[in-house]
Amino acid sequence: MSAMDRQIEQELQDSANRPINILRRSIEAGHASSHGLRLCLKAQFDDQRRYSRAARPKVHEGQREDQLARTYLTYLLQDPEQWTEFLRRETDTVDDLCYFAVIEGLQDSVLQWLQVPLKDRSHPWRTNVASSIGKAQSLLDTTNSADLCLILYFKMEAMFGQRRVE
């Protein structure tokens, strides 16, 4: 663990520091590591869990304004080759990222991310991401309807089904 990672851990323990601010600062400084990214997402997710389900919609409004998932995805897409192994190993982090992506309405961005061409196709990270976005969509649904999950499923089916034909 680097000195920057230790600093991130310490800053996250201080309740005055918000994970999005720490994430942005580490990215801007060029010190964002997989461990630091994981810590920021986990801290944000843990913070949301302390609220009752009834209170979370208000919390989600603030999350949409923070744009944690958008910031994270934008950073990952700058060098996707660097992050494939991390995404394959860190399924909890991918789950958290997809949870925030759904809150922010970034499902289509995640689906576009799944189509990024990479040289190394040996890591099944796309499966983790596809599974996580589906779980997050279902978890956050409050309408007692499967419509949004089905729409997402059929978009993925069309996307991956087309690849199988090629």
Write out pLDDT tens, residues 23-79: 999 999 888 888 888 999 999 998 888 888 888 888 899 889 999 999 999 998 888
pLDDT on residue 166: 46
Conformation bin of residue 79: beta by default, left when phi > 0, alpha when psi is -120 to 50? beta
pTM of the full structure: 0.85
Domain count, the chain: 1
Question: What's the CA gap between 36 and 93, in Å, rounded?
Answer: 11
pLDDT on residue 116: 84
Question: What pLDDT, in 10s, does the model give residues 99-158?
Answer: 999 999 999 999 988 888 877 666 678 888 999 999 999 988 877 788 888 988 888 888
- DSSP structural state of residue 115: T
Q: Which residues contact 19 (CB under 8 A, 6 or more apart)?
A: 12, 40, 41, 43, 44, 47, 68
Residues written for the chain: 166
Print the domain residue range for 53: 3-165
The stretch 78-94 carries a mean pLDDT of 85
The vertex-85 CA angle with 157 and 132, nearest 5°, equals: 40
